[in-house]
Structure 1
Amino acid sequence: MQNDAPESRRPENRWFHLCMADDLATLNAFVTTRVGAVPLVAQNIKGRVVAFRNVCTHRFAVIHSEPAGCGPLRCPYHGWSFDADGVPVGLPFNPTDFQLEAEGRRRLALHPAALARCGRLVFVRMAADGPSLEEELGAALFARLAALSDAFPRRGAALEPEDDWERIDAANLRIHQAPDGALVLHSAAPAGADSRFSRTVTLYPATAPITADAEQPA
C-alpha cells in the first residue's frame, strides 16, 4: 500500500518524547523505544547522551531489550560494544575472526538517530536529519515546555489528572498541570510500539514540601 502521508508527518520524520534528562544522567543509563518496527535507544556514554538505532550492525540483533536500564551499549549476541560515536570498540576475537581495523570499524558504526532537549525533556527522532524540535513544536510551545520542565524538578507519587487541570499536547506527550502545582507527563508509545514504551511521571515544583514520595532527581 502506498504511503500518502506528507513527508514531514511520517513516523520516521517526527519527534517523539522519550524521557526526562534525569533518566539519562547516570553513566551507561539508557532508555529505549520503537518507531514502527525500528528500535531506538538513547544512552549516556562517558557523559555524552547520544541516540542510535538499537540494532547491532554485526548480526542485527537488538542491543538493549528493556525499556530502560543501566549498562554498556553492548550487543548480547556476540558481545560487540559501541562508543558514543556508534563505532564498535569492543570486538571479542577481533584479531582471529574479524580483523577489523579503524576504517572497517567506522563502516560498521550504529545508525544515528536524532536527539534533542527541551528543558529537561528528551525527544528522539528516527531520521538523523530534518527540522529541529523547536521548528516542529513551534517557538512558543517549545519555550513553554522548557519552562515547565525546569520549574518542576521533583519526582513524586503518581497522580490522576482531574478534569479542571490544564492540558498541553506536544508530539506524543500529554501534560496535565494541576492548579495547586503538580505536573503529570504521559508519553504515549510511538506508532508501532507496544504499551511498555509508554511512560508516565508526576513532577512537583521546587517549592513543594519534600515528602517520602517526592525526591530531587540525581
Structure 2
Amino acid sequence: MTVQTRYAGPLDTWPADRSILPAHTYLDQAVYETEVREIFQGRWVWAGFEHWAGTPGDSRPITVAGRPLLLARDKQGVLRVFHNLCRHRGLVLSEEPSTRGRLRCPYHYWTFNLDGSLCGTPYWDRTKGSAPDDETRDRLSLLPVHHATWAGMVFVHLGGEPEAPLTDLLAPLTERWAGVDLTRLHLAGERRYEIQANWKLPVENFLDFYHLPFVHPQVGPAAAALDIHDVALSADIVGGCYPRGASGKADKTEVPLPRLGDGVPDDFLERQELYALFPNALVFLEADWFQVIAFEPAGPEATVEHMAVFVDATAAGDGFAAARASLCEVLFEVNDQDVPILERMQRGRRSPAADHNHLDPHWDQISARFQVRVAEILEAAGHG
C-alpha cells in the first residue's frame, strides 16, 4: 500500500497550463468508442447490484459497454449473468425486471429457465409438442458472461477469459478493510441519475476533495478537507482516507447504527475511506454504512449513475427505519449537489480554453492518477 500526501508523478513534469486529458476526450465520439472498447469491454467493470435480482425467480436486464446483459437468480438462488439474447434469432430477450422465474422470447415463444437452460420451443419440428434433442437443447442455452460479486455489487468481464480473478484486483482494498464484514449489507436506499456529463467527470469529482467545503458545506469546514491522506492502493484503486472524518461531522442519524460486522476495529469509528475502483465504481465506507456510486457510460456527454446506501443487516428492522432514512437523506443530498457541477464542467469542455485548465499539485494529485490511467489506455489505442 502507498499512502502519500503529494503525487510524485505527472504533475511534477506536466506543464501547469495543460490538462492531462485534453478537452476533446470528454466530447469526441471516436474517443468514447475507444474507451468503451478498451476499458469497459476489456476488464472487470461494475455491472449492477446483487439486490437487482435478489430473490430466486428474479431477473433484470442491464447494459454494460452498450451490450445487453441479464442478471438472473435461479430457483436455487444462484446469481448468474447472461447475454440478453434469445438463442434463436438474437432478439433481446428481456426489457423489464421480472419475477416470473422464466424468460420467454416474444418473437417465437422460446422459453428459458433462469439457469440459462432452454425449456420451451413451440412446434420445434412443425408438430405440436415437439422439442429438440438433449444435445441441441443444451447447446442453445443462454450464453453466460464472466461475473463475480463483492460488497453487494456485480462485476462482469466481457473480454474473454479474465486475466486475473476479481478477488486479486480487489485484494489491496479487501486487505485494508479486513475488519469490515461486507457480506452483511442491507440496502437502505437507492437512486438513479441521468447526468449530462462524460463518465470520467464523476470519477474526477469523487476524487476532488478540494470542492467539499464549497459545494457541500454541510459536510464540514475547509479545515476538514485538509485532514485527508491521498491513498493509492494500486493503479486501479485510488482515493483517500479521512482519519477523523466521521467524528468531525455532525451525526447523520439520531439513533446510532450498528457497525458493519463484529470485527470493525475501534480506530475505524472515526475514519472515512473513499476509493475509485477503475473504471466505474466509487465506494465510500464508514464503520456503520457503505455507499456505492457506480455508472454506465451512455455517450460522450451522458452517464447513467446508480447510487446505493447500505447498512448492517442488523439495522434492517423497524427500529432503525428513521436512522436509515436520515442517513440516505444526507448522502443523497450530497450527490444531488454534485450533479449540476458535473454538467457545468461538461459544458466547459466545449471551450478551447478548457485545454488550459490548471491542475493544482497541492490538491489534484490523486485525480491525476485517474487521468493518467485513462491517458495511458488512450495512447496505447492510438489516441496519443
TM-score strictly above 0.5: yes
- Do 1:34 and 1:190's aligned partners in 2 also have CA atoms closer than 8 Å? no
- Do 1:175 and 1:186's aligned partners in 2 also have CA atoms closer than 8 Å? yes
Equivalences for residues 36-75 of structure 1 within 5 A = 36-46=65-75, 47-66=77-96, 68-71=97-100, 72-75=102-105
Task: Say if 1:99 and 1:91 are closer, same or farther in 2 by CA, change over 3 A.
Answer: closer
Residues 1:133 and 2:163 aligned together: no
Percent sequence identity over aligned pairs:
26
Task: Say if 1:127 and 1:28 are closer, same or farther in 2 by CA, change over 3 A.
Answer: farther
Letter in 1 for 2:66: A
Task: Say if 1:107 and 1:207 are closer, same or farther in 2 by CA, change over 3 A.
Answer: closer
DSSP 3-state at the match of 2:135: helix
- Residue deviations 1:30-62 (CA, integer Å, cap 9, x gap): 233223332111201112211110011111111
* Rounded Cα–Cα distance in structure 1 between residues aligned with 2:176 and 2:154: 15
Give the aligned partner of residue 89 of structure 1.
Answer: 119
Offset at 1:191? 6.3
Structure 1, unaligned stretches of length 5 or more?
none
- Residue deviations 1:59-90 (CA, integer Å, cap 9, x gap): 11111213x44332222322212235533111
Moved more, 85-94 or 48-57: 85-94
Task: Say if 1:155 and 1:108 are closer, same or farther in 2 by CA, change over 3 A.
Answer: same
Offset at 1:100? 2.0
Equivalences for residues 32-181 of structure 1 within 5 A = 32-46=61-75, 47-66=77-96, 68-71=97-100, 72-96=102-126, 99-127=131-159, 129-130=161-162, 131-135=164-168, 137-143=169-175, 147=180, 149-150=182-183, 152-156=185-189, 162=219, 166-171=273-278, 172-177=280-285, 181=288
Give the aligned partner of residue 182 of structure 1.
Answer: 289
Residues 1:211 and 2:333 aligned together: no
| Count of residue pairs brought into register by the alignment | 208
Quick check: which has more Rg, 1 or 2? 2
Give the aligned partner of residue 16 of structure 2.
Answer: none
TM-score by structure 2 length?
0.45
- Do 2:47 and 2:63's aligned partners in 1 also have CA atoms closer than 8 Å? no
* Rounded Cα–Cα distance in structure 1 between residues aligned with 2:151 and 2:285: 17
Task: Say if 1:122 and 1:157 are closer, same or farther in 2 by CA, change over 3 A.
Answer: closer
Residues 1:199 and 2:306 aligned together: yes
The structure carrying a bigger helix percent of its residues is 2
Give the aligned partner of residue 262 of structure 2.
Answer: none
Task: Say if 1:190 and 1:74 are closer, same or farther in 2 by CA, change over 3 A.
Answer: farther
- Do 1:51 and 1:113's aligned partners in 2 also have CA atoms closer than 8 Å? yes
* Rounded Cα–Cα distance in structure 2 between residues aligned with 1:192 and 1:108: 33
RMSD (Å) for aligned C-alpha atoms:
3.7
- Do 1:53 and 1:112's aligned partners in 2 also have CA atoms closer than 8 Å? yes
Structure 2, unaligned stretches of length 5 or more?
1-29, 192-215, 220-224, 226-244, 246-271, 326-384
